[in-house]
Amino acid sequence: MPMPQYVKTAIDGAVGRIILNRPERYNALNRAMIREIVEAMEQFDRDETIGAIVLSGAGKSFSAGADIDEMVEATPITMELLDPFADWDRISRVKKPLLAAVHGYVLGGGFELALACDLIYATDATRFGFPEVNLGVMPGAGGTQRLTKRIGRTRALEWLWTGEQMTADQAERFGLVNRLVEADQLEATVLTVAHRIAAQPKMSVRLIKDAVDKAGDLSIQDGMEHERRNFYLLFATDDQTEGMQAFLEKRQPTFKGN
């Protein structure tokens, strides 16, 4: 794989880190950058030593959205042929927890990238928004769908139509972020959560994400049947034996991740 140009990656114990690294453009997402982000996610997803993946942005902001320079000459045909969203779609196939630590501007495609993550931590000065309408377009990487599912139709429409920026407080009130913290606490906070999750039995974490994802698509009864199959499957793991045995023996469990 060629050296990534727009992202930095790092491994911090059992946590894989992906840092958007195009700060001079507010981490505007060009196609190559999205591919690098997705490939880094997939690499960590395959790495047995990694239990959680943290995404963050270098410089003043998480991301000001898709790279407008790259889109300005686009036509429906060039986009159909380039199929830029094929890479975005790969994000929803990542099985491990994805945590986004966002600050500064989280706009357009940057907001969509954060919404594609499982957990979002933000600073109290973060600004969220979908300004695409101001450019004569609209979100294309899941924004209308994910925002609506999270905050409801009427609220979503107002933000998407006006293109206005949402404060961190509003985002928290709408349930879009897990926690707001001071800027100098963001990295420590998200890493603490990521390490906590990464230390949990890996198959439990994986099948919990799989079951929770089904809650958005399936009827309650089908969702519960899916959940039950995942529950049964966990009884095939050593971590289930260890977790329950440790409880009965009144000791801390030692999980092996299988």
Active-site pick, 36, 39, 132, 227: 132
Following DSSP, what letter does each residue of 181-207 receive, concatenated? E-GGGHHHHHHHHHHHHHTS-HHHHHH
Active-site pick, 112, 116, 143, 227: 112
Q: How many CB atoms lie within 10 A of CB 32?
A: 16
Question: Of the two residues 105 and 255, which places its CB atom closer to ligand CO8 in the complex?
Answer: 105
Active site residue 225: no
CA 143 – CA 110 distance, rounded (Å): 10
Instruction: Supply the minimum distance, in Å, between the C-beta of residue 7 and ligand CO8.
Output: 16
CA 20 – CA 29 distance, rounded (Å): 9
Paired with 10 in beta bridges are 17
Instruction: Supply the minimum distance, in Å, between the C-beta of residue 167 and ligand CO8.
Output: 14
Active site residue 175: no
Instruction: Supply the minimum distance, in Å, between the C-beta of residue 106 and ligand CO8.
Output: 10
Q: Where does residue 4 fall: left (phi above 0), alpha (psi -120 to 50 degrees), or beta otherwise?
A: beta
Active site residue 112: yes
Contact residues for ligand CO8 (CB under 6 A)? 25-26, 28, 64-69, 84, 105, 107-109, 131-132, 135, 139-141
Paired with 102 in beta bridges are 122
Active site residue 66: yes
Question: Of the two residues 67 and 239, which places its CB atom closer to ligand CO8 in the complex?
Answer: 67
**Positions marked active-site:** 66, 109, 112, 132
